[in-house]
Structure 1
Amino acid sequence: MADNKATSKAQEFKALSKKDQQRKIGDLILNNAMYIIIAIAIIFITVKQPKFISLSSIVNIISLTAAKLPIALGIGGCIVLTGTDISAGRVVGLAACISASLLTTVFKVFPNMTSAMPIPVVLLIVLGVGAAVGFVNGFSVAKFKLHPFIVTLSTQLITYGIILMYLMNGVNNGQTLSGLTDSYRSLITGTLFTIGGVAIPRYVLYAVILTAVMWVIWNKTTFGKNMFAVGSNEEAANVSGVNVARTIILVFMLAGVMYGITGFFDGARIASANANTGLNYECDAIAACVIGGVSFVGGIGRISGIVVGVLLLQIIFAGLNFLSVDPNMLYIIKGLIILVACAIDMRKYLVRK
Structure 2
Amino acid sequence: MKALQIYKKYGMYVLLAVEIVVFGLLAPNFLTTTNIFNVLRQVSMLGIASCGLTFVILSGGMDLSIGAQIALVGLLGGLLMTKLHVPVAVAVVLMILMGTAIGAINGYLSVKFKIMPMIVTLAMMTSLTGVAKIITNGYPVYGFDASFALIGQGYFFGLVPFPVIIFFIVIFAAWFILQKTYFGRHVYALGSNAEAARLAGVNIANLRIAVFAICGFFTSIACVLMTARANSAQPTAAENYAFDTMTAVVLGGVSIMGGRGKVSNAVAGVVIIGILDNALVLMGINEYYKEVFKGIILLAAVALDAIEIKTQKGILSSDKD
TM-score by length of 2: 0.91
Query: Which residues of 2 match residues 42-191 of structure 1 at below 5 A?
Result: 42-103=20-81, 107=82, 110=83, 113=84, 116-168=85-137, 174-191=138-155
| Partner AA of 2:64 in structure 1 | I
Q: Does 2:240 correspond to 1:280? A: yes
Distance 1:30 1:71, change over 3 A: closer
Aligned residues, how many? 313
| Partner AA of 1:175 in structure 2 | Y
1:218 to 164, 168, 178: 178
| Partner AA of 1:81 in structure 2 | S
Distance 1:220 1:34, change over 3 A: closer
Which region of structure 1 is more displaced relative to structure 2, 184-193 or 51-60?
Answer: 184-193
| Partner AA of 1:320 in structure 2 | L
Whether the 8 Å contact between 2:106 and 2:117 is mirrored in structure 1 is yes
Whether the 8 Å contact between 1:73 and 1:211 is mirrored in structure 2 is yes
| Partner AA of 2:117 in structure 1 | P
Q: Displacement of 1:44 after TM fit?
A: 2.7
Whether the 8 Å contact between 1:71 and 1:88 is mirrored in structure 2 is yes
Distance 1:238 1:24, change over 3 A: closer
Query: How far, CA to CA, are the matches of 1:122 and 1:33 in structure 2?
Result: 41
Cα RMSD between the aligned structures?
A: 2.1
Which region of structure 1 is more displaced relative to structure 2, 143-152 or 243-252?
Answer: 143-152
Q: Does 2:304 correspond to 1:340? A: no
Query: Which residues of 2 match residues 168-317 of structure 1 at below 5 A?
Result: 168=137, 174-194=138-158, 199-317=159-277
Give the structure with higher Rg (CA).
1
Question: Deviation digits for residues 119-162 of structure 1, max 9, x if unmatched?
Answer: 23212211222122212211122232211111101100111121
Question: Deviation digits for residues 61-81 of structure 1, max 9, x if unmatched?
Answer: 111122211110111111112
TM-score by length of 1: 0.83
Report the equivalent of 1:13: none
What 5-or-longer segments of structure 2 have no aligned partner? Answer: 314-321
Whether the 8 Å contact between 2:28 and 2:283 is mirrored in structure 1 is no
What 5-or-longer segments of structure 1 have no aligned partner? Answer: 1-22, 169-173
* SS across alignment from 1:51: coil
Query: How far, CA to CA, are the matches of 1:344 and 1:291 in structure 2?
Result: 10
Query: How far, CA to CA, are the matches of 2:125 and 2:25 in structure 1?
Result: 41
Which region of structure 1 is more displaced relative to structure 2, 25-34 or 209-218?
Answer: 25-34
Whether the 8 Å contact between 2:106 and 2:209 is mirrored in structure 1 is yes
